[in-house]
């Protein structure tokens, strides 16, 4: 099997975890390779995500690293075996690798925590809103790519209505609710969509009001993606318009703490079932209705 020229994030992550295990065992590349019955260059390519590692060899490395965390070991082995193929594969020649990596990560997630400053979260967007947002990123000659990017975003949303959906917690800055992407009707339907999706038992939506901007505004949008084994979690951060993926445990912990703080500062979650007389404090639903009223 030839070496991968452009390994996916999952493949690079597997290689990174193999390297961490080797370092935890105190082994050089050469020593670890001999332990696993392979050559050093082969192991270097594994750690770079350019090739795979046989399960029995991974097991030897886990033993050398004294890794007794069975769920982690099983999840890592699964990460290495996974083909990476899914519904997103048909977009491989159209959209960038970051799109495919995100869809693959979301497909394995049990918890998603998303903060958005300027846009409605992609998993909550309507077709017209997504079309309006993508319209500014492609010129007329790339109409087909734009249409497929919108289609791709809507297909990502199917995880929220799948048989085993992840828990999804979105925190949206009020600024994102007030920008009329696509016009008044598009934004009206989008706000109504937020209320509709908040009825799903696994979806929580909060709004950070503008009045708390000084305390609660965060420098950029991000999503914490947690799979079944939290140690293999990832953060997607949108920095200066570029999506970056982070797997360093301290970085993930920092973003989790930031999300927790944002949740504390945001208004109480949307509760479509709450009666007007039962709402004694300002909440996310009330703010959305206030913004929505002039658009009706």
The residue-averaged pLDDT of 203-224 equals 82
pLDDT digits (tens, 9 = 90+) for 255-268: 999 999 999 999 99
Query: Is the entire prediction scored with pTM above 0.85?
Result: yes
∠ CA 69-72-74, nearest 5°, is 105
Q: Which pLDDT does position 139 carry in this prediction?
A: 57
> Which contiguous run of DSSP H or E holds residue 63?
helix 55-64
Structure tokens that stand for 142 in this block: 């790339």
The residue-averaged pLDDT of 73-90 equals 91
pLDDT at position 6 over 90: no
pLDDT at position 160 over 90: yes
Strands (E), the chain: 109-116, 167-173, 203-208, 221-227, 234-239, 242-246
Asked if 256 contacts 237 with a C-beta cutoff of 8 angstroms, the reply is no
Structure confidence at residue 279 as a pLDDT band (50, 70, 90): low
Structure tokens that stand for 253 in this block: 């912990």
Q: Which pLDDT does position 218 carry in this prediction?
A: 66
Residue ranges matching CATH 3.30.870.10 in the chain: 87-295
Residue ranges matching CATH 1.10.260.40 in the chain: 9-81
Asked if 203 contacts 160 with a C-beta cutoff of 8 angstroms, the reply is yes
Which fold would CATH assign to domain 87-295?
A: Endonuclease; Chain A (3.30.870)
Does CATH number 1.10.260.40 belong to domain 9-81? yes
State percent of the chain over pLDDT 70: 92
The residue-averaged pLDDT of 99-118 equals 95
pLDDT at position 239 over 60: yes
Mean pLDDT of all residues belonging to the chain: 90
């Amino acid at each position: 099997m030839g070496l991968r020229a452009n390994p996916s994030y999952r493949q690079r992550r597997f290689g990174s975890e193999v390297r961490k295990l080797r370092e935890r065992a105190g082994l050089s590349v050469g020593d670890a390779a001999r332990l696993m019955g392979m050559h050093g260059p082969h192991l270097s390519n594994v750690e770079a995500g350019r090739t795979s590692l046989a399960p029995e060899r991974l097991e030897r490395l886990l033993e050398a690293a004294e890794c007794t965390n069975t769920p982690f070991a099983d999840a890592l082995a699964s990460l290495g075996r996974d083909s990476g193929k899914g519904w997103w594969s048909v977009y491989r020649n159209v959209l960038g690798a970051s799109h495919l990596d995100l869809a693959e990560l979301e497909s394995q997630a049990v918890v998603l925590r998303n903060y958005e400053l300027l846009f409605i979260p992609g998993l909550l967007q309507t077709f017209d809103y997504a079309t309006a947002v993508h319209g500014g990123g492609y010129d007329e000659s790339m109409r087909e790519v734009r249409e497929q990017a919108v289609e791709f975003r809507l297909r990502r949303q199917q995880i929220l209505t799948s048989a085993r959906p992840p828990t999804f917690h979105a925190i949206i800055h009020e600024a994102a609710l007030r920008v009329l992407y696509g016009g008044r009707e598009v934004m009206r339907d989008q706000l109504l969509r937020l209320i509709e999706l908040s009825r799903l038992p696994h979806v929580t939506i909060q709004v950070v009001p503008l009045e708390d901007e000084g305390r609660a505004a965060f420098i950029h949008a991000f999503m914490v993606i947690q799979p079944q084994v939290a140690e293999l979690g990832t953060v997607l951060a949108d920095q200066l318009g570029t999506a970056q993926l982070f797997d360093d445990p301290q970085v993930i912990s920092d973003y989790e703490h930031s999300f927790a703080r944002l949740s504390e500062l945001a208004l109480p979650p949307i509760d479509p079932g709450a009666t007007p007389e039962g709402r004694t404090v300002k909440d996310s639903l009330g703010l959305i209705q206030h913004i929505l009223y002039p658009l009706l």
